[in-house]
Structure 1
Amino acid sequence: MNTRTSRLDTALRSLDAGGTLTKEQQQRAADTLERIVAVTPAAHPHAVAPTRRSPRRLPLVLTAVVALAVAVIVLPGGVGGGQAYASWTPVPTALTPAEVEIVAPPCRARLREGRRLDLGRARLVLTERRGEYVALLYRTDDPDMSGSCLAHNRPGTDDVDDVTFGIGGGAGPARSAPARGFTQGTISDFRDASITDGAAGTDVAGVIIHAGGLTVHASVSNGRYVAWWPGPAFEPGQDRPGGGGPRPIVSYDLTLTDGTVIHDAQPS
């Protein structure tokens, strides 16, 4: 075993819980998992963070949870590793049909692992490129489910790697956004990268997301928006008072078709 492998093995073993969990530890773990996956497709009007819901509306963000667990160890070439994020741009460009043809198969293969999004019915509704990383958003409106993937693909090449994904939503039909507003959809926080989507009203021409020190111009088309950025969406280890889950670091500005800008807009 070489030195690098030994260090990695030691780091991975340090993440093991070890022994038999007590009932209190099991409950604490369950509460933590619920906070991580509790992403609402239409959040409370006065909050931008995920909230707890009934089991019927409990979102299903499986791989995002796994990514959160392993992101403690940053490996070269992985999401958040290497130099690829140095090419990230706050303003995206849409993928060309040729690029979609290259990236879509590995993206759909990863989404299929989640087993929660009906890929037979899901539509590809938005794509975006920011430097060497691209994002694809698949949707079904009934049930209201979003599946997004993030993949490394250098422009002009057929190489696709570092594919990760998040799936979220609920059992009921999708809610529409008011003409001058938006809904907050799934937020997948991989710590080193985050991706979110939602519905945009008919009078909304642009959605700007502020995440920490980053300003992110979302891709907006046909009543939906999507955006990804290099960094977290929630403050680590900071729960809101009353057990409301992790504290978000995202806020939204809307640009309307008449030129009006709504700062610190709240989701419907």
Structure 2
Amino acid sequence: MNVHTPDSANSRLDAALRSLDAASTPTAEQHQRAAATLERIVATAPAADTNPGAAAPVRRTRRRLLLVPVAAAALTAAAIVLPTGNDGGRAYASWTPVPTALTAAEIDAVAPACRKRLRGGSLDLERARLVLAERRGEHVALLYRTDDPDISGSCLARNLQGDDDVDDVDVGIGGSTGPALPAPARGFTQGTIADYRDASVTDGAAGADVAGVTIHAGNLTVQASVSNGRYVAWWPGAALERDRDQPSGEDGARPIITYDLTLTDGTVVRDAQPTLPS
């Protein structure tokens, strides 16, 4: 699959990120408790866009983001690059390997800015559901989806806890023209990977017996949010690596992340492999 990337840009992570310790794998009980909390929260729909012409509370946006539907090999895939403003820098020193669920009030504060940025893309916002919403330090991630077609719209934004102000909004849309691939009970699918150059977002389907998804990205260990058969996670670093040996004009980007699954019976599956289209 060809992957269209934005013009290369030199971006550096905050030095503090390099000293982050990897998180230990949470227990199944912790995963289930976090999932139950998140499920209660995302069941509350975000505020409707009652005034489409009104300006969303977005002060600035930044670089383009690439979404790569790596799990849609047997389907008609879409790789969509959305411009999101200037190339101003971001600091992720507050990032945490373990997420916390957003409250309904936080979703109401962030959702209008995210939906405004997502409007006009291939994601049908009239049908899309908010399926996951998480906080890691000063930044929050929202994930909107339709299952047929299988399209995810992710939004990463800066929002201080307890503050209504939202800025640094990055969004993107990726997926395929076919229906979503279901995950086996004790497995998962590898969905869209969003490469922000200095941050990455990924999501996918999680089976009924999967209580937790842990992602290893370089020296970082990331606990994903899992709820209602989906998982999502973001981290300050790369998810893709380009193959320098590819012929000119071809893009050899490939995922460089691995996964561990925690099942509801407490079993931990190391280096779990995703289910892909046959």
Into which bin does the TM-score normalised by the smaller protein fall?
0.7 to 0.9
On the 8 A contact 2:4/2:79 being kept in 1, the answer is no
Identity %: 65
**How well do the aligned residues superpose, as a CA RMSD in angstroms?**
2.5
On the 8 A contact 2:67/2:172 being kept in 1, the answer is no
**2:45 matches 1:39:** no
Q: What does 1:119-130 correspond to in 2, within 5 Å? A: 119-130=125-136
Unaligned runs of 5+ in 1: 1-29, 43-50
Check 1:32–1:124 CA distance in 2 against 1; reply closer, same or farther (3 A cut).
Answer: closer
Q: Which amino acid aligns with 1:209?
A: I
- Corresponding position of 1:173: 179
- Corresponding position of 2:168: 162
Q: Which amino acid aligns with 2:215?
A: I
Give the Cα–Cα distance (whole angstroms) in 2 for the partners of residues 190 and 261 of structure 1: 30
**2:78 matches 1:59:** yes
CA deviation after TM superposition for structure 1 residue 61, in Å: 2.5
**2:209 matches 1:203:** yes
- Corresponding position of 2:116: 109
Tell me which of the two structures has the higher relative contact order, counting C-alpha pairs closer than 8 angstroms and 6 or more residues apart: 2
- Corresponding position of 1:93: 100
Instruction: Give the match's secondary structure for 1:264.
Output: coil
Equivalences, count: 214
Instruction: Give the match's secondary structure for 1:99.
Output: helix
Give the Cα–Cα distance (whole angstroms) in 2 for the partners of residues 105 and 225 of structure 1: 22
Instruction: Give the match's secondary structure for 2:149.
Output: coil
- Corresponding position of 2:229: 223
Give the Cα–Cα distance (whole angstroms) in 2 for the partners of residues 62 and 246 of structure 1: 15
Check 1:202–1:237 CA distance in 2 against 1; reply closer, same or farther (3 A cut).
Answer: same
Q: Which amino acid aligns with 1:109?
A: K
- Corresponding position of 2:241: 235
- Corresponding position of 2:273: 266
Give the Cα–Cα distance (whole angstroms) in 2 for the partners of residues 157 and 38 of structure 1: 32
Instruction: Give the match's secondary structure for 2:153.
Output: strand
Unaligned runs of 5+ in 2: 7-65
The TM-score, its normalising length taken from structure 1, stands at: 0.73
CA deviation after TM superposition for structure 1 residue 165, in Å: 1.0
- Residue 259 of structure 2: which of 224, 247, 252 is its match? 252
Instruction: Give the match's secondary structure for 2:143.
Output: strand
Give the Cα–Cα distance (whole angstroms) in 2 for the partners of residues 34 and 191 of structure 1: 10
Instruction: Give the match's secondary structure for 1:87.
Output: coil
* Structure with the higher fraction of residues in helix conformation: 1
On the 8 A contact 1:87/1:131 being kept in 2, the answer is yes
